[in-house]
Chain A
């Protein structure tokens, strides 16, 4: 579904990502881990079109994404969340989802007037489903900037899912969450997989990565040093030296 071929991204002299290959199959949950500065977020930003690769190619469902803006890639089916939450703070929870929920094909069959007025029954039902999914049903009219941290994380995930993506890039969705919230997030990610959404998960919280992914790729200094099932990765000595060996979390 997603093929990353010989991808490199330089910032000046710094090689953030170097000659990286990664495949994600449809329906998979793939984890992407690595120490800070190993190029994980850069990779996400290249895949969703925020950054242009220095060389290499991103192919999504057989189509090269070169030169496509993030909004175009979203229409092709790639959505993402941000490492630092980027909601529309001055808009309500409802409006945040409304903005995202307009473009998908199934909604486009609805009358454009009713979609833009917000009176389309299908649109309303879909947004209500998203509110329930993210446990924000009673917060629809609250400004996003007034939400608690955990709620903002949930809304950002819902906003990405609202666009009906086939591939979802999650950039450290569990950062700053407590144990209960991480467990909830894990449930949510599983539900998304049941809906057929393929997920690339960048994460530091090992509890989540080891629990939910089918396959993990490990980055260090911009290169892939290992790839395999969560068990393989936990036993991989190269990974332990580069990353897990220094961590108290595991």
Chain B
């Protein structure tokens, strides 16, 4: 049972991580900084619950503010570079954040024991849920409430002019600029929103695993973050969720019985999926087929 709850938690956290990259990819920015924002959110929230003994909601809020603020600052220099150069610059940022936590030592004594981030040893004993008697399934529900709210917010925003403007910038920056859209504001806003969501994902992750290690926040995590929306497609937020279930549930957990062969098949299946569905697993065509099958009528201005 706990195994499945853990898997469901992982899917929820990675969905948030993927959605943070989704917001950026809508504006045409491929950012590897999401691992850095995720790490900042994780360490910040954990520091607030462990060292300052805040309650979990305040700590998550503070973590979202901090990672969003950092993302806002990263957004401006990131405007100067695009495409591959943005990838390189944001990889550098994520590594910078990781090395910061690798060196971060902040030990305090509480009840006769030392706690807090311990440099290379990581940050253990983030026991908020345990100390407050939360059951595992309660943690899962708590976590998925955030996932549901963020998905609903982004899905809704996409129906408003916000979605149209983000996508317009992603489609063609010059045309967007010539249409009166302030591209600078849009790209920095998307970077900030992405930082907030990645920070939320990180703060939930920290309390769910109870033990942070800087090795988690590497380029691999950033790669996963952008792989989800690309594999899932940019039609809507459910594509990202489906891609996370596909990768985390099916490929990583479902193929565990294959042992070392798993990683080989993992890469191959992603290549196959991208070739069959170049616009993502959950593209407009899939949505149309599903709608017809379920007999749902098209409505509004959506496609």
Q: Which residues of A contact B (CB under 8 A)?
A: 48, 50, 69-71, 74-75, 79-80, 82, 86-92, 94-96, 98-100, 102-103, 115-118, 140-141, 143, 159-160, 163
Contact = CB atoms under 8 A, between A and B. Distances in A.
A88 B161 contact: no
A163 B180 contact: yes
Interface string B157-178: 0001110110110111011111
Most chain B beta-carbon neighbours within 10 Å: one of A50, A79, A91: A91
A156 to B, nearest CB: 9
> Chain A's interface: helix, strand, loop or mixed, by majority?
mixed
Contacts of B175: 82, 86-88
A100 B167 contact: no
> Chain B's interface: helix, strand, loop or mixed, by majority?
helix
Of all A-B residue pairs in the complex, the 10 with the closest CB atoms, nearest first, are: A86-B175, A74-B180, A103-B180, A88-B171, A95-B164, A70-B177, A116-B161, A88-B168, A70-B178, A100-B179
Given A89-B171, A91-B168, A117-B160, A74 B179 contact: yes
A95 B168 CA distance: 9
Contact of B180 (A75, A82, A90, A117): A75
A80 to B, nearest CB: 6
A143 B177 contact: no
Contact of B164 (A82, A99, A103): A99
Interface residues of B, number: 25
Contact of A141 (B182, B234, B301): B301
B289 interface: no
Contact of A90 (B171, B298, B301): B171
A21 B46 CA distance: 65
A27 B156 CA distance: 43
Contacts of B176: 88, 99
Contact of B167 (A88, A115, A117): A88
B183 interface: yes
B294 interface: no
